[in-house]
Structure 1
Amino acid sequence: MTDLRIAPVDGDAMLHDWQHVHNAIIPTAALSLDEVRERAGRNRLEVAYLGDVLVGCSTVRPPTAEASVATVIARVLPAHRRQGFGGALYARGLAHARKLGADVIETVVLESNADGLRFAQAQGFVEVERYLLPGDSVRFVDLRLA
């Protein structure tokens, strides 16, 4: 894993890479490039590469003035799972969220992503809620770090 490089999204090429990973893992809530740009303005988006190969991305939604809750999401493309990339993305996101003052850490996983649910539970997350967005057919699972 010595060739793993994780970097904040910077420029259109990295926005496209983040979008690709997000949309591959969450096809029921695919985002346009404009939607990704908007998210990059309010969240910390990062992409992970093994050498020059895109392997994953992450999102940190910062805590708000009303609550010291941050959301940390690590996504790894299926071909690159179980190699420690998710753990590296998650550790960076968690450290960033705590630096921003988060006392509570949450994540969200698409219910159909069994690997993602197992990963979140292995990191110490417990399920809080399952919900279906209007027009969707697959539920999201909100989890909170215990």
Structure 2
Amino acid sequence: MDDREEQGHGGSLHNSENLISESPPDPPSTCMEPSFNPPAENDDESTASFNQREILRAIQVVERDSLAIAESFTSLFASLRLALSEVTSSSVDHMQCFSDATGRLQESVLDAATKGSRYINSCYRLNEEMKNIDGLASQLKFLRRNVDVLDSAVNKLLHSP
């Protein structure tokens, strides 16, 4: 390779924009140009070396462009990998947050259900106790009458001369 090829493979390869802009302004065609001169022995050698130089230059341009495209793809894939990593990390964080919130909600619901069940059971017991209070009220009325009768009898005995 000549000096221009080595320069193309040197430090300027790391920037794909430089690679494309460093290519010759009028890159040689990769197609071989037909020769209009009649074949002669000296012309054959000069035309062959001219065509070889043109082919080498075209190959250099293609090689530089290929390297620039490869570096662009490498940069793109690195960027995509980073974005995917961030999205995955964010998704994992959101799932962990959702899991924590769901766990706390479940604990709260179980606690509320337990307290509600205790309240309902207390209401049932109170209702059962209140069923017996009517009978107790009747007994108290009967006892009150007996106490009133006894009180009247004691008052008569104490106030009688």
Greater strand share, structure number: 1
* Common fold: TM-score over 0.5: no
* TM-score, length basis structure 2: 0.20
Greater helix share, structure number: 2
Structure number, greater radius of gyration: 2
Ranked by relative contact order (alpha carbons within 8 Å, sequence separation 6 or more), the top structure is: 2
